[in-house]
Structure 1
Amino acid sequence: MTTPADDSSQNPRRPRAEDFVPGRPVLFRDATVLTMDPAIGDLERGDVLVRGERIERVGQGLEAPGDALVVDCSGGILMPGMVDTHRHMWQTALRGLGADWTLSQYFVFYYLNWGKIFRPQDIHAGNLLSAVEALDAGVTTTVDWSHGLQTPEHGDAAVEALRSVPGRFVLAYGNLLGAPWEWAGSPDFRAFVTRNFSAPDSRDDLLGLQLAFDVTGDAAFPEKAAFEAARELGLPVTTHAGVWGATGDDGIRLMWDHGFMTPDVTYVHSATLSEDSYQRIAASGGSVSVSTESEQNAGQGYPPTWRLRRHGIPVSLSMDTSVWFSADLFSAMRATLSADRAREHLEAHAAGETVVHHRLRARDVVEWATIGGARTLGLDDRTGSLTPGKRADVVLLRNERNPAMFPLLHPYGHVVFQTGRADVDTVLVDGRPVKYAHELVGVDLGRARDAVASTVSYARGTLGEEAWQESMAPEIPRTEPISNPYTYSEYRGEGVAVRQEES
């Protein structure tokens, strides 16, 4: 039996990838349009006209300009490109290695033992593959939480990889093996910023910069110097907060007391904080990036959306790292909705009650994955919704060969529960097609595959076969608790004992 070709090759109503010519208008016709713009709403049999880098019109029955390329989207969902606000892209080079790790085992592998072996070319390889797969899954904007940048040369490699892929990225510069109060203010880091982000054409719409570091809770607050460096450079800060055994309320209090809790700070995970800390985040206008698959599997704490909602704290979604978890936001949306509802049900059952109406709806998590992420990054004036005048970051979900793609009755529920990366038909970034008819466009996947293969070979050889095999199920002695994974600091906090189940 012959496998049918992609529907675009058999369907004369669909143009070819080469028909997308720079400057030629593109009209997406007859889609279920989820604009994520409350002023426009959702449209059945809706149209979106893209001209150049921007969305020009959104409506129904739009007239196609004479030279327009018309894409028939019937049976499909048209939505904004998704936004991932926290992804350790460099770790993609070891995809799946830590499927059975706990957070403690992750710390042992990267923070204590093997994070230091990554060379600049390994950072480049992981970033390259991660950037490509983000676009393939309809994630048009990704924060590269790049805490493997031991030297500015590692940073240069990260930037080079991100600039070589036609997506929208934010490099969150970090170094898990170095003290942030030292590297953030160093001449070498300043030279890196000047070299990569100070030229007239370098700080563009497709690559931004943040600082990424954590606050240990040391009363001396050495991280103050890193916050001051970020403020001097005009850079947002993203930090792992509320992570069991690593960061907690002391760090939040120190940030608050010293005036560094501002609207441009992103708190990642935030799963084990007190009510006081959540109130401080809410009062300061900060936002939280939730990585539900990570929090559920690794042990940072229970995914906190049920608490964030009570405080009105803005939420965005992220997948954390594919050394463990899924590398797409469909999984993130599904896991987040399920975790929030599970908590709501369990609390009701404990009180002898029954939940009869879900507070968190499918639309909410789609919003968190799109315009919510854009707001977190301060990019909501450019992306995150299908709004005329915004950049054309557009995703078409359509797959005529997937029986789960019809009937299309509840579009938000369909995105969250029925759809996956294989259903991403078309992706535009800044009006440029990077995926069409289920195939990547203008992206060299083979180059990324070869680069990662080289890194895997190097890492396996450097670790040695015994350590390589043990890394898939590493043992942590019961008698040696991990009190703090940050090797650059003598501060150890109260310590967290490691629990191992009896066999």
Structure 2
Amino acid sequence: MSYLLKAGLVVTFDKSNNPVAYNADVLVEGTTIAKVANDIEAPAGVKVIDCTGKWITPGMVDLHRHVWMSVLKGSHGDMLLSEYLITSSWTVQPDLTPSEIKIGQLAGCLEALHNGVTTVLDHFHGMHSPEMADAALEATIQSGTRVVFCPSRASAPTKLLPEWEFEREAEAAEWQWAQLKEWAKRDRGRLSAGGRVMLGLAYDIVAPWNIPQSQEALKEARSWPAAIITAHVVQGPQIKTWKDADLLGPDVVFSHCNVLSHRTSPEDEMWTALKENDSRVASTPVDELGMALGNPVALEAVKRGVKSGLGVDASSINGGDMFSQMKIILQWQRGTEADKILTSGAEEPSHTSWVASDAFRLATLGGAEALNMSHLIGTIEEGKKADLLVFDAQSPNLAACEDPFRGFVFHASDADIEVVMVDGEIVKEGRKFTRFKWASVARDLKAAAEGIRNRWPKEKLDRLWKEYYAQKGTPHF
């Protein structure tokens, strides 16, 4: 269908990268924003949506999410990273069934859409069997979300104590590469009709001892071409390792990068490597702070000219919304800079250095730039994809807000989103999904979550962590 969003307040960025908000109509034809202007007459057959008293914004872009982990929601919010890895990533995760992965993936995509996230970089680290891989991709396509689907080329440990062992690594590498190459043949990695789901690669195993192997692997991925190559960096030296191996580039998104928060020199080699190679940073401030990964660096990246955006990471740890991430990154940056001023005795500035539109940009255009998709999404412009949100600006949260950027970042929630559109398709309207009945999804999700908890009760996981910690202490990453 085609749509005319009539008489709304368009909240976006102009071609000079300035935040702007103005009254206009938005005409959507097929998958595309066809026209943005005042008093557009609805062509025949176009559905008109009255947006009087509403905000029309770009859909949000999540640069780092493990989508399938919605099936473990609420499991990890009080854990440090090391505890989470031992009691989930390297134990529970490989034990899941394809059906558990599938419902987690579907529910995770719908959770993103429910919260106004229309594009996700999915670091899919649940690829422990061909059946799990197929199940995740099928659910992703069915959901209607725009996704850069990045399966993780890795295997789970077969033993944690007394020493780590990876006895299935060779077998996993063989079938995973075969699966990735098969997916790459689908219209050069366009995994769904129209390319709403694109193939990428998650590759966390670059290390000084396997540089030739990693160079060959990423050369292979870039030949597909993989839309994005992504990897975790917490407090380790991976950025330098990638640089020394000549693996950086504008298709690389590093998640977290908390190690950079302590590297304050303007000439720091890691920051310089990111900027010179146009590689990007994805911050997930809520869990980075909560799990002691380190301090978030998204706005520091902006200051240094490195493309960056925000992500949720895992909704087993925190909520699946970007509103929390925007608030936390903005207030953390403000607080950190203010603390330096207060403790140094310097004169306080007259205004804050960072404003709400900076956080709004991280969640929209910044994320689009990091995915090399800003020509398609991230702003409301004629010719771009129709990934749009309609907010009820008369809601209890927003009715008194004059500035939509402050309203969006500080006051809005999923309850205020009336319409979510991806690729010109309305996937949520009247606060309900259009492709699925949530009650049915929720029933299957709850059953899967209960099954996992029955196999892996808290007492069992607590014993596992205590045993590991007693012998090994806290692993560092």
Residues 93 and 126 in structure 1, CA contact (< 8 A), matched pair in contact too: yes
Q: Structure 1, residues 50-81: CA drift from partner, whole Å, max 9, x if none?
A: 11211111122333324432222122111111
TM-score, normalized by length of structure 2? 0.88
Q: Which residue of 2 aligns with 1:392?
A: 386
Separation of aligned partners in 1, 2:115 and 2:274: 31
Task: Determine which of 23, 43, 54 is the counterpart of 2:32.
Answer: 54
1:231 corresponds, among 219, 222, 238, to: 222
- Secondary structure of the corresponding residue to residue 258 of structure 2: coil
Q: Does 1:454 align with 2:447?
A: yes
Aligned to 1:31: 8
Match of 1:501 in 2: none
Q: Does 1:380 align with 2:377?
A: no
Residue of structure 1 equivalent to 2:86: 108
> After superposition, where does 1:263-412 map in structure 2 within 5 Å?
263-273=250-260, 274=263, 275-353=268-346, 354-398=348-392, 400=394, 402-412=395-405
Question: Gaps (5+ residues) in structure 2?
Answer: 157-165
The answer as to 2:414 corresponding to 1:414 is no
Structure 2 Cα separation of the partners of residues 41 and 342 of structure 1: 23
For structure 1, the 5+ residue unaligned runs are 1-21, 486-503
Q: Are the equivalent residues in 1 in contact too, given 2:154–2:169 (CA < 8 A)?
A: no
> Letter of the aligned partner of 1:44 in structure 2?
Y
User: Is the contact between residue 155 and residue 172 of structure 2 (CA under 8 Å) also seen in structure 1?
Assistant: no
Name the CA shift for 1:191/1:359 in 2 (closer, same or farther; >3 Å): same
User: C-alpha offsets along residues 359-398 of structure 1, whole Å, 9 cap, x if unaligned?
Assistant: 2221111111112111211222221111111111110011
The residue that corresponds to 1:483 in the other structure is: 475
| Alpha-carbon separation, structure 2, partners of 1:68 and 1:483 | 58
1:426 aligns with 2:419: yes
> Does the aligned pair in 2 maintain the 1:120–1:154 contact within 8 Å?
yes
Residues 456 and 175 of structure 1: CA distance in aligned 2, closer, same or farther (over 3 Å): farther
Q: Given the alignment of the two structures, is residue 96 of structure 1 paired with residue 74 of structure 2, yes or no? A: yes
Superposed CA deviations along residues 272-311 of structure 1, whole A, max 9, x for unmatched, are: 1343211101110011011010111111110113431332
Q: Does the 8 Å contact 1:240/1:267 carry over to 2?
A: yes
Shift of 1:213: 2.1
Please say if 1:256 is aligned against 2:249: no
Q: Could you tell me which residue of structure 2 aligns to residue 189 of structure 1?
A: 177
1:164 aligned counterpart, secondary structure: helix
Checking the alignment, whether the CA contact within 8 Å between 1:111 and 1:176 is kept in structure 2 is no
**Matched residue SS, 1:177:** coil
- 1:423-475 deviation per Cα after TM superposition (whole angstroms, max 9, x unaligned): 0111111111111122222223234223322321221221146226779x979
CA distance in 1, matches of 2:217, 2:446: 35
Which stretch shows the higher mean deviation, 106-115 or 258-267? 106-115
Counterpart CA distance in 2 for 1:183 and 1:364 is: 46
Please report how far the alpha carbon of residue 187 of structure 1 lies from its aligned counterpart in structure 2 after TM superposition.
5.1
* Structure 1 residue 199: Cα displacement: 5.1
- Alpha-carbon contact 2:154-2:173 (below 8 Å) kept: no
**Structure 1 residues 188 and 176: alpha-carbon distance in aligned structure 2, compared to 1, 3 A threshold:** closer
Contact kept in structure 2, 1:185 and 1:229, CA below 8 Å: no
What displacement does 1:330 show? Answer: 1.1
Q: Deviations over 1:301-346 (max 9, x none)?
A: 1011343133211111101001111101111111111111111111
Deviates more, 1:74-83 or 1:171-180: 171-180
Distance in 1 separating the partners of 2:207 and 2:69 = 26
Aligned partners of 1:93, 1:118: CA distance in 2, in Å? 10
Q: Distance in 1 between matches of 2:335 and 2:281?
A: 20
Q: Structure 1 residues 397, 220: closer, same or farther in 2, change over 3 A?
A: same
Rounded Cα–Cα distance in structure 2 between residues aligned with 1:306 and 1:35: 19
* Alignment deviations for residues 88-136 of structure 1 (CA, whole Å, 9 cap, x no partner): 1111101011121111111112233322211222211110101111111
Contact 1:84 1:373 in 2 (8 A): yes
Q: Per the alignment, in what secondary structure is the counterpart of residue 230 of structure 1?
A: helix
Of residues 201-210 and 144-153 in structure 1, the stretch that sits farther from structure 2 once superposed is 201-210
Q: Deviations over 1:184-232 (max 9, x none)?
A: 9635532454257525874542101111122464444353343233233
Question: Aligned residues: percent identity?
Answer: 26
Q: Which residue of 1 aligns with 2:147?
A: 169
After TM superposition, the structure 1 = structure 2 runs for residues 76-91 of structure 1, keeping only pairs within 5 Å, are: 76-91=54-69
Task: Report the Cα offset of residue 35 of structure 1.
Answer: 2.7
